[in-house]
Structure 1
Amino acid sequence: MKIKMVDVAKRLGISKATVSLAVNGKPGVNEQTRQKVLECIKELEKNNGVFPEPLNSPEKEAHRRMIKVLIINHRRRVVCDPELDLWTDVLHTFDTEARKRGYLYGLSYINETEDETNAVIDECNMPLVAGIIVFATEMQTTDYPILEKIQKPMVLYDHETPDGKYNSICIDNETAVRSCLDLLHQSGVSNIKYLCTGKNIYNFQKRREAFRNALIAQDHMPAKNDIIELGYTIPAITEQMLAWLDHNALPEGFLFENYQVSIGVITALRKRGIKFPERIKVIGIDEIPDYIFPASKLTQIRIPHAERAAIAMELLDKEISQQWKTRIKIYAQPEVIPGKSL
């Protein structure tokens, strides 16, 4: 007999679209969920389309509770399709930590169409979903109404709302920037340019804000050319940096906003024969793999991505089991990785 996708979706607490992706072997569904879908279909086929026990069986209900990770995707290539694989460890940590606590693990994406968004919100509000982690690296203020529509315990990963209404696990961007500036100053640098991407997300906004505040604290009113905006991709950053170098004098130091800027600018410096730390001192936020520039040991600020994922899952589990009313905001401290660029 033909199994209805809607029956499988209700059984597992996922959407019909997720069931369809799993059945047809399409991307967008993790392997654990895919196997659960296939096992559910086999169970239905074996029992002529009828589940052998009530759907609200307490034993089965406990076993099927799900933690759903909801990725906000604005196609900025920060989380989805990034130029370097930064997030595999984070998603693996979410998966591992959820299963360790006895939950199923689901993954969904919020894109920019209203129908898709509403479908995912409905999926999140299904009875068998115990809680939500919002992977909010690309979240914008216009996305906040989505959070209001989700009626489940929730933790924001990589973002915080101004009203503090939700539990959140963030990067201490202010400390990251301050650490960079302290190290540059200690190496004798005072004239520093902040190099950034054209992407406007929470973490980058906070880093730019911290840089401006640091200048103000030094009685230096920020000027337009103190923060130099480059491209969205590594090749574009390289090309725009080459053009900048051809028309501007070198400062004493550069602070790179993220790994894309680090890679793109170092490539441009190499093409122009500008060595660091001899001619300029540089430091970057977020690590780049050693294999990219094996001979150029950049001093970097490591951001604890996977560790924050584990903390987010622990916090969500506490809220689910203990029904906490207090909202908690955690800022993960960055770590300096010494190099040879200062």
Structure 2
Amino acid sequence: MAVLSRLDVQSDAIVAPSNDFQLPGYETLELSTQNMIADAIKYGINYQVLDENEQIIKLTYGTHVEYIKEGNITRLDSALSHALMENKIVTKEILRSADIKVPFGYEFYRIEDAIAYFDQLPSAFVVKPKSTNYGIGITIFKQTATQADYEQAVHIAFENDDAIIVETYAHGTEYRFYVQDNAVLAVLERFPANVIGDGIHNIAQLVETKNSDIRRGEHHRTPLEKIIIGEVERLTLSLQGVDELSIPKQGQRILLRENSNISTGGDSIDRTDQVSSHFKDIAVRVAKALDVTITGVDIIIEDFTTESDYFVIEANQNPMMQMHLFPAVGQSRRVTESLITLLFPESLA
């Protein structure tokens, strides 16, 4: 209501929105961009959508102009820094040089070379594309894999990139740290796409029911993403001895994926206030090592309440914001508003 009133929309002309997370009239934009616009309006900043497909907006406050792409790509970070973060091998080398713990792994440019590495694999490992985001093409093996399963994972990864990484699996729980301007603004525990059995419905039906949640959608227009049963999901199910037509027992949790990305149907829990400052400091060190203002740092942690073992598995150049705005469980962290005030400090006066 506050946002619409700034647009001089009369209250009797307002139709109640169908949900409490999208900005009416802008539902075709990514949810983070919708909320960037809402926060810009809140601070009296003019806005213009320059390219809906590329998610580029122009913000103006007096003579001050800023451009934002996909929620948080701004002039504050260089194209070189983004290119370094996009390359997971380079990222790991930079972080290792800064005495930040990262998993050990190998890079492959040919399928046959990756497959030939099978006999040297550790008991638990990850196969993933070298440069993609959002958990696309990632397969995680927490226990010893058959050669057939490994080869399938290699093919899936190469379908999404021209190079892949095979690295040691880091045991623990994964957390996303949203870093802006040398401070951690939000921490989210992410849980892989899953369903819980009722003893009646099969896995495909349980997925359909879970996807009916209004918070789940596609293409980052909603807080959570729908679960899609594809190659990776079917492989993950087979490793548990089930398929999409299997009927789980009452209360039995079935994973559709091992990677915990929200983009691939995962769930989210805000942990900002519970995570030890030790790990927040590590996330800030990652941002400084990569020379970026904004990044999403993924850290596998054994015990997030104390200085336990950890591995930084990734730094994201365009981290999702909506999962912090609208976590499935826990407090909202208004990271879009924090970016608006960082770009336009004069709007606070």
Query: If the length of structure 2 is used for normalisation, what is the TM-score?
Result: 0.29
Tell me which of the two structures has the higher relative contact order, counting C-alpha pairs closer than 8 angstroms and 6 or more residues apart. 2
Query: If the length of structure 1 is used for normalisation, what is the TM-score?
Result: 0.29
Structure with the higher strand share, 1 or 2: 2
